[in-house]
Amino acid sequence: MCEADGLDPAKRLQARQQVLDSADARDCTLYRSAEEDDPDTEEEDLGDARILFQGPFQAPAHWGEAELEDFFGDEDPEQFVTALIECCAAPSTSQFFTPEPGDYVAVVNERGQVTMYYLYACHEDDAGRHCVLIHDDLALL
């Protein structure tokens, strides 16, 4: 997969392992809508992952009003955060998945509470799977 995407497999594997091993990473589970065209369908449990939050999303300085409006739409820009996400399953197994825009991320904090995020955008490079998430204010226990 890495070579097809122009990534260095050794660097990508090292970045993946850093997220999985990081003491700052949190456990999470990803869910994907079973039918892309119908957001009301039951979500499929993709499996467990580790998420390493990087901080608030910062729009590139060169973006103008139109790009900002396109990206944020009606959402509050303060709800956007960035993170690295890595599937816990080994890439060679059938349980492995790649996070994609449209997925939902349930993150477990240190007190065992769950916070939901919507995976809005992502890209992958040698340093990992970089994701932009929108915090969902709905509190889950």
> How many separate domains does the chain show?
1
- In three state form, how does the secondary structure of the chain look? CCCCCCCCHHHHHHHHHHHHHCCCCEEEEEEEECCCCCCCCCEEEEEEEEEEEEEECCCCCCCCHHHHHHHHCCCCHHHEEEEEEEECCCCCCCCCCCCCCCCEEEEECCCCCEEEEEEEEEEEECCEEEEEEEEEEEEEC
**55-90 per-position pLDDT tens digit:** 999 999 999 999 999 999 999 999 999 999 999 999
Q: Identify whether 1 is part of a domain.
A: no
Specify the CATH number for the domain of residue 93. Answer: 2.40.10
Q: Identify whether 2 is part of a domain.
A: no
**12-30 per-position pLDDT tens digit:** 999 999 999 999 999 999 9
Which structural domain, as residue segments, surrounds residue 28?
Answer: 9-140
Mean of all residue pLDDT scores within the chain? 90
Q: Identify whether 47 is part of a domain.
A: yes
Model confidence, pTM: 0.87
Confidence of residue 2 (pLDDT cuts 50, 70, 90): low
